[in-house]
Structure 1
Amino acid sequence: MTERADRTTITERAARAGARVAHNRFRTGIDAETKSGKTDVVTAADHAAQREAIDVIRNAFPDDAIVGEEKDELKAVPESGAAWIIDPIDGTSNYVRENRVWGTVVAAVEDGDPIAATTAMPALEDTYIADEDGATRNGEPIATSDVDDPEAAIVAPAMWWAMDRRDEYARACEAVVRRFGDARRIGCAQALLASIADGSLEGAITNVETNPWDTVAGVTLIRRAGGRVTDLDGNRWRHDSVGLVASNGELHEELLEAANEIADA
């Protein structure tokens, strides 16, 4: 097995290990604490799941950098070397409300570029994996949709706008509902991006600066499934980009136009 293949294996092993911890505590009345806002929450399950995922990674690659949402891990992706990006429970707000749309996510990167990713959603019994051969859900290949009619497309105003930026949130929703057939808000960024990869949604737009644990794995899934992800200028999206436009590839220009309406006063 090559080292790159081994890293793919470890993304899956670590994500599944963290997901088991989180799933064992799901719907058990676990307490939540708020972080930056009243809907931005964290639980003991987040911390426990992250520790479990890190243990798996450290046993295989003890010297690699780790970027994680919780506690004292790095908060930015290193520009050089190997690193791992972990979100122990993406969709914690769903998790604490006993909504099944949440997941444990692990991505492996080299010199800032993703090489593999796993999104494990045990409450939905779905696991998505992206590697150099493509993207799968539960072991079966997936692909983005071929919808090219905006009026038939389902698109999400994505990520989270702070309370003092809700005018932008409103404009994002308006841009979507005026241009496309329907809108979705899932409450879990990685589940949203996985849904674009598997063809159940056509796209997502945001103008905010995103976190790597909310995006890198899902962006990798979309690209390996045949889709496209850019910044607001149409340039290839990176982990440090501001804004994110993800599509099935067929509707990307329409999504770019919609995304660039968000910040307009």
Structure 2
Amino acid sequence: MSDLRADLSLALRLADEADKITTARFRARDLVVERKPDRTPVTDADVAVEDAIRAVLAVEAPADQVAGEERGGTAGDGRAWVLDPIDGTKNFLRGVPVWATLIALVVDGVPVVGVVSAPALGRRWWAAAGGGAHTSDASGVREISVSAVRDLSDAYLSTTHLGTWVEHHSREAYLALVDACWENRAFGDFWQHCLVAEGAIDLAAEPIVNAWDVAPFQVLVTEAGGRFTDLGGAASFTGGSVLTSNGHLHDTALEVLAAGR
């Protein structure tokens, strides 16, 4: 952890810079919204946040690679910062306060620092390899850990959008997992994985994600005592899908999702 303290400090400062921009532009009457080639929305705030973070990194860590949702780039061997300036852009542009800036430091393909900052919720989550997982809210800073639930019949499950299961995996498979669990919601995007890390829910599954959508959660959830894999069971943030859990339920959930395809 000692070698990562400076990196975590930098990541938290990057989140501070992002929060200044996003909070100023949230619910702004002159917010500019465009559509990318994949038809997903992007706001002027998304671009401004990524540009601001890149500008700080150019000074503070000029030798590091940077890969971001809006400006591109790759995270190859060595050190790379993986950025999602606003995760939950659809919420952001509609005035729903559930959105966050995601920042991860990846070293040789493995996330070692992750920060998730959701200023409209008054929340932030962070972790560094070997240093545990933490969150802050109005009550202060505390260490977090996953739940102790061991049976799917007692589990609380979340996804982002049921429609994506039709196109990218299997709606029937996800509904089989829903039926096996106690309760389900669509908390969506970053929030559900943070809720897994802090033990509020037990499972979060998404059939289609980009690397920048989930990189911080590989370190956040594992440092909180849980598991992070793609839907094939590989512990990688580049697999195109994701399952986060408290660990106890992980293999069983993967089996249900595989059997339902």
Give the TM-score normalised by the residue count of structure 2.
0.89
Give the match's secondary structure for 1:89: strand
Instruction: Verify: 1:178 aligned to 2:179, yes or no.
Output: yes
Q: Deviations over 1:20-41 (max 9, x none)?
A: 2011110113232222555x21
Query: Structure 2: how far apart are the matches of 1:17 and 1:256?
Result: 38
What is the CA-CA distance between 1:160 and the residue it aligns to? 7.9
Query: Structure 1: how far apart are the matches of 2:249 and 2:2?
Result: 37
Which residue of structure 2 lines up, in the alignment, with residue 220 of structure 1? 219
Which residue of structure 2 lines up, in the alignment, with residue 246 of structure 1? 244
Which residue of structure 1 lines up, in the alignment, with residue 64 of structure 2? 64
Which residue of structure 1 lines up, in the alignment, with residue 85 of structure 2? 88
Contact 1:155–1:183 (Cα < 8 Å) also in 2: yes
Cα pair distance change 1:97/1:172, threshold 3 Å: farther
Give the match's secondary structure for 2:120: coil
Q: Deviations over 1:216-236 (max 9, x none)?
A: 10121100000012233434x
Query: Structure 2: how far apart are the matches of 1:5 and 1:163?
Result: 39
Contact 1:119–1:128 (Cα < 8 Å) also in 2: yes
Query: Structure 1: how far apart are the matches of 2:219 and 2:163?
Result: 23
Instruction: Verify: 1:153 aligned to 2:186, yes or no.
Output: no
What letter is aligned with 2:150?
Answer: D
Which residue of structure 1 lines up, in the alignment, with residue 28 of structure 2? 28
Query: Structure 2: how far apart are the matches of 1:162 and 1:195?
Result: 21
What letter is aligned with 1:195?
Answer: L
What is the CA-CA distance between 1:200 and the residue it aligns to? 1.2
Give the match's secondary structure for 2:36: strand
What letter is aligned with 1:178?
Answer: D
Structure 2 residue corresponding to 1:133, chosen from 131, 134, 147: 131
Which residue of structure 2 lines up, in the alignment, with residue 110 of structure 1? 107
What is the CA-CA distance between 1:191 and the residue it aligns to? 1.8
Cα pair distance change 1:161/1:60, threshold 3 Å: farther
What is the CA-CA distance between 1:53 and the residue it aligns to? 1.6
Contact 2:165–2:171 (Cα < 8 Å) also in 1: no
Contact 2:157–2:183 (Cα < 8 Å) also in 1: yes
Which residue of structure 1 lines up, in the alignment, with residue 4 of structure 2? 4
Contact 1:205–1:245 (Cα < 8 Å) also in 2: yes
Q: Mind listing any 5+ residue stretches in structure 1 that lack a counterpart?
A: none
Q: How many residues align?
A: 255
Cα pair distance change 1:182/1:20, threshold 3 Å: same
Contact 1:150–1:180 (Cα < 8 Å) also in 2: yes
User: What's the % identity of the aligned pairs?
Assistant: 30
Instruction: Verify: 1:13 aligned to 2:13, yes or no.
Output: yes
What letter is aligned with 1:253?
Answer: D
Superposition pairs for residues 200-239 of structure 1, below 5 Å? Answer: 200-208=200-208, 210-235=209-234, 237-239=235-237
What is the CA-CA distance between 1:199 and the residue it aligns to? 0.8
